[in-house]
Amino acid sequence: MSAGEPAFNRPALEQLLGKRFFYAPAFSLYGGVAGLYDYGPPGCALQANVLDMWRKHFVLEEDMLEVDCSIMTPAEVLKTSGHVDRFSDWMCKDLKTGEIFRADHLVENVLEARLDGDKIARNAPVETKADKDEKKKKKAAKVTAVRLEDATVQTYKEILAQIDNYSGPELGELMRTHQIKSPETGNDISEPVVFNLMFASSIGPTGQFPGFLRPETAQGQFLNFKRLLEFNNDRMPFASAQIGRSFRNEISPREGLLRVREFTMAEIEHYVDPAKKDHARFHEVKDYKLNILPASVQLSGKTELLSITVGEAVEKKIIDNQTLGYFLVRIHMFLTKIGINPDRVRFRQHMANEMAHYACDCWDAEIHTSYGWKECVGCADRSAYDLTVHSNKTGEKLVVRERLPEPLVEEKLQLEINKKVFGPRFKKNAKAVEDHLAALDVAALEQCKQAHDSTGSFAVAVNGESFDITKDLISSFEKVSITTHIREFTPNVIEPSFGIGRILYCLMEHVYWTRPEGEARGVLSFPPVVAPTKCLLVPLSTNEAFVPVLSQVSAMLRRSGVSSKVDDSGASIGRRYARNDELGTPFGITVDFQSVQDNTVTLRERDSTKQIRESVDVIVELLKDMCEGKTSWTEVSAKYPAFVSQEVAE
């Protein structure tokens, strides 16, 4: 925020969003439920337009395969994927009142409050955030002016820089070391415990078929991999995509749409050869600059951003591969296209302890808001984790078979068992031991071969039991020449995952401002392409003479695909425009008595309030082009003369 710029007024924005019914707490007549929200007409339209842009930017431009998979998911699927055991946060509670906290958020809030108190004690400026609502105040730690030792300040800053990297026991140790108590009561806090974030349910009338509401849309895409690969004519690489609802039973929902229990996700699963993670279009984006925060910087206790081209970041292995780098750029392009301020976007790399159980590398697109930096898009390299675990569980091969241009001849160590002896020896365990031997990698086979040659036997552990493999159980154990015509591999997956509700809230913060003149008037400066309604039709008065022209313009806009609404209330034109500035409507058409005579109308642009006057046909065509992003108001206002007064009176 620059000097002289007014502080962001979050309560004013939230009042506007509530008044205009962008969204509101769900079930409010019954007291509401934390973390659940309903979208009103403008919120629905805004979300639909953002998702339409997402489809065009990703699904259409990248030739992705869109699917729509079931929300209700059998427990066995999520057990296999690791979500039942590891999809969790660390929870703690006030030992006297029972109030629940998410452990990392509690540590973060208390230490930030102490640092603010230190700044006050030193008469240093405190970075102000917008006033919090009453519920937020209750959760926040009290700020008390107490000067801290310089070493303590540095320690707190280092902890906050890597707050996402701590395990539950480490968070507990931080609470004890730094005497962190319940913010409101000062009571002791329990040790952090694991809390699974999924909503459990059952499928069918017996209650004996457990299931969950999905915590992500990804698993349905992975389970349909074979069908998608066949649909794509077995060509690699390719991507699937899905937009849909997901559910997470958040410990402490807060900050409006930023942390909720039911939300819309848009996820991409890009399947790539693990040996070739280059991207065919990387050359188009290699010179694109991003602001990034690598894990190494965070682990040093710092948060300084590195501005670097994605090409250089990939070359230096800061970003692991071209495909990951390509999608980071495409994510940034999408966010800026829908109206997010590019100067308030950064990409933060996950540290080891915060990495999802399925990921080998992950970057978050974080957007700066009045609440601080908030993760809105995750871009993870899930390696071959999901396809591998589902294949192992079901026995279905989720692989790609690729014909080699030239046959590959390799010398391989091959172990063949003597089935006549093997079966009777191990009985019911024979199949499991045989499968284990067949799955041994080259290094393990070499170790078994050495033991076999020197001692005449070797041992393997299968399902917690040890089995001795003696010479009489082996027919041959030698290197053989194998010619391969087909290469078989399990694809790796690069996954961009978008939290649509979070993006919408960040967008509304970024485009909100107030007009300085007179009474503060709120404006939402949505780009025309995502604005809920594109155009307001305003008759000069309620005179019946305006009805034919209004009907004509409205019909032409509908045929052109430009959403509009008529405001023919008795309020002044200025008040009617102000109401729609709050809704983010970018354009307004005024029908007056000159319109009745010569079929011309004025076109007003929301942010500048400047107007032009042209024929209805020209105005409708200009609106269509601006709403589709083919031209801009800057170009239009440079081409057509400004309109400053009415030409014909009644």
- Reported as a single tens digit per residue, the pLDDT across 285-305 is 999 999 999 999 998 888 899
β-strand partners of 401: 488
Alpha-carbon distance 162 to 176, whole Å?
18
Q: What is the pLDDT of residue 164?
A: 81
Q: Tell the burial category of 305 from Cβ atoms under 10 Å away from its Cβ (0-12, 13-18, 19+).
A: middle
Tell me the mean pLDDT in the region 415-441.
89
> pLDDT tens-digit profile of 102-127?
999 899 989 999 998 988 888 877 76
Q: What is the pLDDT of residue 5?
A: 53
Alpha-carbon distance 304 to 335, whole Å?
22
pLDDT band at 633 (very low <50, low <70, confident <90, very high): very high
> pLDDT tens-digit profile of 615-625?
999 999 999 99
pTM of the model: 0.82
Alpha-carbon distance 108 to 171, whole Å?
10
**Least confident range of 48-52, 95-99, 564-568, 644-648:** 644-648
Distance of CA 345 to the CA centre of its chain: 13
Q: Which amino acid is at 272?
A: V
In 3D, which of 199, 229, 231, 219 has the Cα closest to residue 265? 219
pLDDT band at 196 (very low <50, low <70, confident <90, very high): confident
Q: Is the pLDDT of residue 128 over 90?
A: no
Peptide bond into 237 cis (omega under 30): yes
Asked if residue 489 lies in contact with residue 400, where contact means CB atoms within 8 angstroms, the answer is: yes
- How far CA 497 is from CA of 217, 227, 328, 548, 580, in Å, comes to 9, 22, 11, 48, 33
Strand runs labelled E in 503-650: 512-515, 521-524, 535-539, 564-566, 587-591, 600-605, 611-615
> pLDDT tens-digit profile of 349-404?
998 877 777 778 899 999 999 999 999 999 999 999 999 999 999 999 999 999 88
Q: What is the pLDDT of residue 140?
A: 61
**Least confident range of 209-218, 242-251, 348-357, 448-457:** 348-357
> pLDDT tens-digit profile of 477-527?
888 888 888 889 999 999 999 999 999 999 999 999 999 875 678 999 999
Q: What is the pLDDT of residue 631?
A: 95
Q: Is the pLDDT of residue 581 over 90?
A: yes
Determine what percent of the chain is predicted with pLDDT higher than 90: 67
pLDDT band at 6 (very low <50, low <70, confident <90, very high): low
Tell me the mean pLDDT in the region 207-236.
95
**Least confident range of 88-92, 130-134, 469-473, 479-483:** 130-134
Output DSSP code: residue 57: I
Higher pLDDT, 579 or 5: 579
In 3D, which of 553, 510, 557 has the Cα closest to residue 533? 557
Q: What is the pLDDT of residue 648?
A: 44
